[in-house]
Structure 1
Amino acid sequence: MSETVKDKVIEIIAEQAVLDRSDVTMDATLEDLGIDSLGLVESIFAIEEAFDIEVPFNANEPEQSDFDISSVAAIVGAVEGLVAAQHQGA
């Protein structure tokens, strides 16, 4: 797992949850961290901007998304996959 992707995703999530980075654990869910649907959307926008990627996420139907938001670790893994795919296509 790339530390830079992991660190940046945790930083974005911590900022949205108004928490210290140390409070954001890999097994935490967004619900555990107090992030609501608006915070989720803002987090996704921030992730897209930070990594110059497009996250396949539909805020209106999150359960239909290909982007796993079940935990911080799942989000980090999904972002790493999108970043890797982008670099392969470049």
Structure 2
Amino acid sequence: MTQSVQDRVIAIIAEQAVLDPADVRMESTLEDLGIDSLGLVESIFAIEEAFDISVPFNANEPSQSDFDISSVAAIVRAVEGLLEDQKK
């Protein structure tokens, strides 16, 4: 059985935050989870690799990126959107 996008994203974020996936809530921000800017970049790379997608994220200007990192739920939605775009 394949993992859902949500489960895979949560697993990646949990690994970066050194947390159990059960401790990662959809409404949590990366800051809430203790993920710093380096952890964010590593999370983005891990997401790209796990889903074979290219994430439109600018580490130098996170607020200028087209990839919403405001919460775990936002990241899941953004990844789902990128996967949908890839199908077109």
Q: TM-score range by the shorter chain?
A: over 0.9
Cα-to-partner distance string for 1:34-58 (whole Å, 9 max, x where unaligned):
0000000000000000000000000
> Paired residues, what number?
86
Is 1:64 paired with 2:64? yes
Normalised to the residue count of structure 1, the TM-score between the two structures is: 0.94
Normalised to the residue count of structure 2, the TM-score between the two structures is: 0.96
Secondary structure of 1:34's counterpart equals coil
Is 1:6 paired with 2:12? no
Structure 2: give runs of 5+ residues left out of the alignment.
Answer: none
Structure 1: give runs of 5+ residues left out of the alignment.
Answer: none
Alignment of 1:20-35 (within 5 A): 20-35=20-35
Alpha-carbon distance, 1:87 to partner: 1.4
**Letter matched to residue 87 of structure 2:** H
**Letter matched to residue 5 of structure 2:** V
Q: Which residue of 2 aligns with 1:44?
A: 44
Cα-to-partner distance string for 1:69-90 (whole Å, 9 max, x where unaligned):
00000000000000111012xx
Is 1:83 paired with 2:83? yes
Q: Using the alignment, how far apart are the partners of 2:25 and 2:87 within structure 1? A: 27
